[in-house]
C-alpha cells in the first residue's frame, strides 16, 4: 500500500485515497479516479499511443492480498493512465461492512460500487486499468464455501481485454484491513485465475519483480495486444496496400543495387 503520492505527482493536485492515488484534475470522476479523457502524456510519448480506437479496452489487475496490485495500478496512474481504484479496502476503512463479520453483505457492496464505476467507462477512451475486477468477489465466495449469488453469472466478462494475475511475493504485509496470510494469498490466487479464465478472459501472470519492472511488464503486454488488435482491425485493402508498398520498396532496392554494381 502506498502511503504518499508518487514523486512525479508532486506539484500537481494529488488526492490520496484508501486504495491508491487518483489525479484530481478536471477530467477526474468521483468514482474510482476514472478519467474521461486520456492525458496527452501517453497519447504522444509512445507509451501506449491512442487513436481513439481502443475504447472499451479494460485491463484488470487482480491477485490475492499483499501481492502488489495497488502498487502496479499506482505505477500506471503515475504515468498518466486512467484507472479505477479498489473498493474493498475503502469499504473496510469505512467500518460499516467488514468481510470477517458478514462476507455476503460486504461483497454485495463491493460489487455494487464496482459495477457503478465500470458503467462510467462506457465512453472512456482506453486502455483503463482496474484495481480488481467484477469477478474477484466470486473468488472469495468460493474460498469461504458460500453460495455464489446468481448475479455473478449475469455479469459480462467480454469487456475485459486481459486480466493480469499478480503472483504472490515471499512475504505478507498485514495491516488493519488485511488480516489474511501468505497461505491464503496463494490459495485465493488460484481461484481468481479460474474465475477469469473460465469466462474466456486471457490471464497473464505478473512474476515477482521490482515495482517498476512490474509496471513496465504490464504496459509492454498491453501495448503488444493493442498493436495486434489494431492490425486485426485494419481493412484488407490497407493491408494489401502496405504489402505492395513493401514489395515495391524491395524491388527498387534491388534495382538500385544492380545499378551500383554495374557502375563499380
Condensed to tens digits (0 to 9), the pLDDT of residues 226-238 reads 888 888 877 766 6
- Judged by DSSP in three states, 218 sits in helix
**Poorest-pLDDT segment among 20-24, 29-33, 119-123, 220-224:** 20-24
Rounded Cα distance between 232 and 79, Å, is 27
| Measured CA distances, 140 to 3, 33, 152, 153 (Å) | 26, 25, 12, 15
Cβ neighbours for 60, distance < 8 A, ≥ 6 positions apart: 130, 132, 133, 160, 162, 163, 164, 196, 201
Quick one: DSSP state of residue 148?
P
Q: Which of 25-39, 67-81, 242-256 has the weakest average pLDDT?
A: 25-39
Other C-beta atoms closer than 10 Å to the C-beta of 223 total 15
- Whole-number Å distance between alpha carbons of 137 and 192: 9
Across 58-179, the runs of DSSP E, i.e. the strands, are 58-62, 83-84, 128-131, 160-166
Q: What is the pLDDT of residue 73?
A: 94
**pLDDT value for 182:** 80
Report how far residue 260's alpha carbon sits from residue 264's, in angstroms, rounded to the nearest whole number.
6
C-alpha cell at 112: 455494487
- Domains delineated in the chain: 7-233 (3.40.50.300)
pLDDT exceeds 60 at position 52: no
Angle between helices 211-233 and 69-78 (to 10 degrees): 70
pLDDT of amino acid 256:
53
Residue 175: pLDDT above 70? no
Q: Is the pLDDT higher at 29 or at 78?
A: 78
pLDDT confidence tier of residue 211, bands split at 50, 70 and 90: very high
- Residue 76 is placed in which grid cell? 500506471
Amino acid at each position: 500500500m502506498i502511503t504518499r503520492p508518487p514523486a512525479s505527482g508532486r506539484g500537481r493536485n494529488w488526492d490520496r485515497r484508501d486504495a491508491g492515488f487518483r489525479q484530481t484534475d478536471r477530467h477526474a470522476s468521483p468514482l474510482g479516479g476514472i478519467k474521461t479523457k486520456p492525458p496527452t502524456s501517453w497519447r504522444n510519448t509512445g507509451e501506449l499511443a491512442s487513436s481513439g480506437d481502443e475504447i472499451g479496452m479494460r485491463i484488470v489487475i487482480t491477485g490475492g492480498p499483499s501481492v502488489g496490485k495497488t502498487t502496479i495500478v499506482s505505477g500506471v496512474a503515475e504515468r498518466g493512465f486512467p484507472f479505477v481504484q479498489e473498493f474493498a479496502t475503502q469499504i473496510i476503512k469505512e467500518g460499516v461492512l467488514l468481510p470477517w463479520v458478514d462476507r455476503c453483505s460486504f461483497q454485495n457492496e463491493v460489487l455494487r460500487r464496482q459495477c457503478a464505476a465500470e458503467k462510467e467507462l462506457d465512453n472512456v477512451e482506453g486502455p483503463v486499468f482496474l484495481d480488481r475486477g467484477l469477478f474477484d468477489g466470486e473468488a472469495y465466495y468460493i474460498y469461504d464455501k458460500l453460495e455464489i449469488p446468481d448475479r455473478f453469472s449475469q455479469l459480462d466478462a467480454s469487456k475485459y481485454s486481459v486480466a493480469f494475475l499478480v503472483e504472490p511475493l515471499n512475504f505478507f504485509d498485514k495491516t488493519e484491513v488485511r488480516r489474511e496470510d501468505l497461505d491464503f494469498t496463494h490459495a485465493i490466487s488460484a481461484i481468481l485465475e479460474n474465475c477469469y479464465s473460465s469466462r474466456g478472459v486471457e490471464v497473464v501472470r505478473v512474476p515477482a519483480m521490482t515495482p517498476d519492472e512490474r509496471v513496465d511488464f504490464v504496459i509492454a503486454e498491453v501495448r503488444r495486444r493493442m498493436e495486434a488488435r489494431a492490425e486485426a482491425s485494419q481493412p484488407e485493402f490497407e493491408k494489401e496496400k502496405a504489402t505492395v508498398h513493401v514489395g515495391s520498396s524491395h524491388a527498387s532496392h534491388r534495382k538500385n543495387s544492380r545499378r551500383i554494381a554495374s557502375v563499380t
